[in-house]
């Protein structure tokens, strides 16, 4: 393992410290936690607070999306490990303005349990809390017999939507409705070239041969649905769009937002090439995205790979929310 760290157990506190001290105009640390809150407190006044978080290793998610117009606070767990309820609860307390707090949770058993315990704690104190569990990864079948679909890069889209709506004064109930309505229209699929190495583990989460790729890998090295020899960018895009199309039934009459997301070790150069192929492939289907983002938004430490998120804009307001101006490190 070759990483620029001091010691594996100090990764999270030192990362959070480095982040907030580098960007004091956006971020502040909540005392005695690994959670960060907006430094612009005035921007939260009278509004519903938005809190997200999860294991670390997905930077800039989630702390990088804290700022005016997006998240109010984010809680950073250990690497690939959900944050604990006491920390999530402190973040809820830090952002509550009497209008309630909305939680954006990724669908992993640990995240769901810890955020729910924090919600119970807030209930006891009379803070109104509602939440959405994001499960945009279509690599996993939804089934009663598994944890269900995972939450991946589409979570950032959710942050953007509820963040913009909350900034414009949406109520807790309105945010819940917005999140529930948008969620089924957000689909993501990834391809991995190599696995991530968790600092405390010291070796990659799985092995892929030099010439192999795997479709459908999750953001914590969860296994995907198929391994193959490496293909051209065009062919990778072809596979991902075919699968996403089965889910979304892409239609030239409809509007779409597209997020091309690097997994950590894939250079922007390759992400732009991939985007070129995504846009070509969509053009074949007579689709021109109404909104597009390319870059590292929901990474998986040093995993090489890329994910493609397609979001069908069935409500005109959603495009406005995506274009709404924010003051964050990561968007």
Using CB under 8 A, pick the residue from 67, 69, 100, 205 that binds another protein: 205
The token pair at 226 is 């198929």
Min. distance of Cβ 186 from another protein in angstroms?
Answer: 19
The answer to whether residue 159 is catalytic is no
Q: Provide the strand spans (E) within the chain.
A: 27-29, 35-38, 49-56, 73-79, 101-106, 129-134, 186-194, 212-215, 226-229, 256-262, 291-295, 304-312
> Cα dihedral angle (214, 218, 220, 226), rounded to 10 degrees?
-30
Stretch that binds another protein, among 73-81, 92-100, 290-298, 307-315 (CB under 8 A): 73-81
Q: Does 223 bind another protein (CB under 8 A)?
A: yes
Nearest to 169 by CA among 271, 99, 122, 110: 99
Residue 108 in the binding site for another protein (CB under 8 A)? yes
- Based on the shown chain and the rule CB under 8 A, indicate whether residue 261 belongs to the binding site for another protein: no
Name the maximum alpha-carbon separation found in the chain: 55
Among 39, 147, 233, 247, binds another protein (CB under 8 A): 147
Q: How many CB atoms lie within 10 A of CB 226?
A: 11
CB 309 within 8 A of CB 261: yes
**In the set 52, 107, 114, 271, which binds another protein (CB under 8 A)?**
114
x/- letters, 22..61, toward another protein (CB under 8 A): ---------------------------------x------
User: What x/- string results for residues 80 through 99 when contact with another protein is judged by CB under 8 A?
Assistant: xxxxxxxx------------
Distance in Å, CB of 139 to another protein, minimum: 9
Partnered with residue 38 across adjacent β-strands are 27
Nearest to 107 by CA among 222, 249, 262, 247: 222
Pull the structure tokens for residue 285: 């289907």
Nearer CB in complex with another protein: 146/232 = 146
Annotation says 276 is catalytic: no
Q: Annotated catalytic sites, by residue?
A: 58, 220
Residues that bind another protein (CB under 8 A): 55, 77-87, 108-110, 113-114, 117, 140, 145-147, 150, 198, 200-201, 205, 218, 220-223
């Amino acid at each position: 393992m070759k990483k620029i760290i001091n010691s594996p157990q100090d990764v999270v506190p030192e990362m959070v410290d480095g982040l907030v001290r580098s960007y004091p105009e956006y971020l502040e640390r909540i005392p005695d936690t690994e959670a960060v809150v907006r430094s612009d407190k005035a921007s939260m006044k009278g509004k519903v607070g938005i809190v997200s978080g999860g294991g670390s290793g997905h930077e800039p998610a989630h702390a990088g999306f804290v700022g005016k117009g997006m998240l109010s606070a984010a809680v950073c767990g250990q690497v690939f490990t959900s944050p604990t309820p006491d920390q999530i609860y402190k973040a809820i307390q830090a952002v509550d303005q009497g209008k309630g707090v909305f939680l954006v949770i990724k669908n992993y058993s640990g995240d769901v349990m810890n955020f729910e315990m924090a919600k119970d704690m807030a209930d006891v104190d009379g803070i109104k809390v509602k939440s959405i569990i994001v499960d945009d990864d279509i690599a996993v079948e939804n089934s009663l017999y598994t944890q269900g679909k995972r939450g991946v890069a589409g979570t950032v889209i959710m942050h953007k939507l509820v963040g913009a709506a909350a900034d414009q004064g949406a109520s807790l109930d309105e945010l819940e409705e917005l999140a529930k309505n948008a969620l089924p229209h957000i689909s993501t699929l990834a391809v991995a070239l190599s696995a991530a190495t968790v600092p405390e583990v010291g070796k990659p989460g799985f092995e892929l041969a030099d010439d192999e790729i795997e479709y459908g890998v999750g953001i914590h090295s969860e296994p995907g649905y198929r391994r193959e020899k490496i293909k051209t960018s065009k062919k990778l895009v072809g596979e991902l769009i075919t699968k996403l199309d089965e889910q979304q039934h892409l239609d030239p009459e409809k509007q779409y937002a597209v997020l091309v997301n690097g997994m950590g070790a894939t250079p922007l150069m390759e992400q732009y090439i991939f985007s070129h192929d995504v846009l070509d492939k969509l053009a074949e289907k007579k689709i021109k995205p109404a909104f597009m983002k390319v870059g590292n938004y929901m990474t998986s430490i040093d995993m090489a790979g890329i994910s493609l998120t397609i979001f069908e804009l069935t409500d005109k307001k959603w495009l406005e929310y995506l274009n709404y101006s924010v003051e964050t490190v990561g968007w």
